[in-house]
Structure 1
Amino acid sequence: MRSRQPNRLREVIRRGDIALGSCLYSFSPALIELAGFCGLDFCRIDNEHAWRQDQSTEDVLRGGLLGGLVPLLRVDRDNPYLIRKALEAGAGGVIIPHAKGKADVQRMVEAAKFHPLGKRGYGGLCLSGKWGVDAGEEWMDWSNREQLVIPMVEDVGALEEIDEIMATKGVDGIFFGPADFSISAGVPL
């Protein structure tokens, strides 16, 4: 059986290299596949502002995996169901909007990680679990180690807890949302 691969984006960051990526607002799996073939390390797939059904999201994630890049899915909101579904469907990580503080971020991590790091429910009949063929402890350990959790700071109030947010165990990085941040600060776009 083919072994699980390390998260390419995590490896690039660990080496101190620059990760190249883009954002995708398209339903086309071929576009994200092409992005991978062109050498991008990751692609942020928007599922917060772009409307996708479950099947089209899964198809776009598969396209990223086929192209050899890490598909990062920005989910619609801090919802354990959406976080779990994204990771089961093959996302190399989740980007979760509007992290307002450490408590929010801790809930995000718990939704993304299996015991003992979190409270993610087991569902191995999925792409990430190789449709149950290889969805035991090794898959759960791989998921905890390789699938990324990236909260988005988009609200002025989050700055009060930014050090705590960044120090939360299980957080792999932070994305900044400048438009919503400006709105929350009362600064016109």
Structure 2
Amino acid sequence: MSLAARLKADEAVLSAWSTIPDSLVVETVAGLGFDVVTLEMQHGGHHEDSVLRGIPAIRQAGAHPVVRIPVGRFDMASRALDFGAEAVIAPMVNSAEDARAFAAAMKYPPVGMRSWGPTFAMPRAGETSAQQWLETANGQTLAIAMIETRQALDALDDILAVEGIDGVLVGPSDFSIAWTDGRKVDPALEEMMPAIADIAARTRAAGKHATIYVVDPRLVGRYHAMGFRFFALGSEASYMAKGATSLIETARNSIG
């Protein structure tokens, strides 16, 4: 089942967040049990070559490959899809104009202006019919616009109304900076939680997917109750730190 189908079925999915541009690391992360692995190009080290080589490792592990592109790199959105990504997350989508440019790169005509060339995507998805790919790709590849500024919040309904935008992802760290006018970074800031809940409600009312980056996994249940269904959790550094801390503590405690 595709990521699009799982979200349409209202399933909750958990995404790893990969920042290290090495296919062996991606392969290891993909085998940890996450539903999704997101390759991070905006703040992480991933680049075109590591995305190209990392996606097969994710698919082989049975997870869904997603890519977050750098700000404004809508050309990379199309390339990520041609490499085999099932979804692309675009940061700093602050207006309907931004959303239209993103959707144009993500969808084939008549919805968008994506150029034909799924040289890697079709075989990696096990698809052999170009016609079948053309007829289904727009529905099976997700354009996720990030909501992380006050401008984006003000334009949310206009962004959601853009054909070809399939959902939004809340970036709570940037959102907290915007919410406090630059005074604080706190992804769990209580005073912004009603706004985050409102984003989820408006997104679902528009028939689109509400997704969010989660720094503290204990918040997943709260966000799920708001209507979010895609949850991005931490990065390789946090997975290694948590695992190593537990391993070292258990080993030392065993000495007695």
- Corresponding residue for 1:3? none
- Corresponding residue for 1:58? 52
- Corresponding residue for 1:188? 184
Amino acid at match of 1:176: V
Alpha-carbon displacement from aligned partner over 1:111-148 (angstroms, at most 9, x marks no partner)? 10011110011123x211339x9462322223211011
Are residues 35 and 12 of structure 1, via their aligned partners in 2, closer, same or farther at CA, if it must alter by over 3 Å?
Answer: farther
Unpaired runs of 5+ residues, structure 2, are 186-256
- Corresponding residue for 1:150? 144
Q: Does 1:11 align with 2:11?
A: no
| Structure label with greater radius of gyration | 2
Q: Does 1:99 align with 2:99?
A: no
Which of the numbers 23, 38, 43 marks the counterpart of 1:29?
23
| Preserved contact between residue 35 and residue 67 of structure 1 (Cα < 8 Å) | no
| Preserved contact between residue 41 and residue 47 of structure 2 (Cα < 8 Å) | no
| TM-score using structure 1 length | 0.85
Q: Does 1:178 align with 2:164?
A: no
Unpaired runs of 5+ residues, structure 1, are 1-5
Superposed, 1:82-161 pairs within 5 Å as 82-124=76-118, 126-130=119-123, 134=128, 136-161=130-155
Q: How far 1:85 moved relative to its partner?
A: 0.7
Q: Distance in 2 between matches of 1:83 and 1:27?
A: 17
Q: Number of residues paired by the alignment?
A: 181
| Preserved contact between residue 21 and residue 45 of structure 2 (Cα < 8 Å) | no
Q: How far 1:35 moved relative to its partner?
A: 4.1
SS at match of 1:16: coil
Amino acid at match of 2:64: V
SS at match of 2:167: coil
| Preserved contact between residue 21 and residue 47 of structure 2 (Cα < 8 Å) | no
Amino acid at match of 1:129: M
Q: Does 1:70 align with 2:64?
A: yes
SS at match of 1:116: coil
Q: How far 1:82 moved relative to its partner?
A: 0.9
- Corresponding residue for 2:156? 162
The alignment-based identity, stated in percent, is 25
Q: Distance in 2 between matches of 1:51 and 1:23?
A: 12
Amino acid at match of 2:135: D
Deviates more, 1:61-70 or 1:24-33: 24-33
| TM-score using structure 2 length | 0.64
Alpha-carbon displacement from aligned partner over 1:48-67 (angstroms, at most 9, x marks no partner)? 11233422221111211111
Alpha-carbon displacement from aligned partner over 1:135-179 (angstroms, at most 9, x marks no partner)? 623222232110111011121111111122223222222111122
* Higher helix proportion (structure 1 or 2): 2
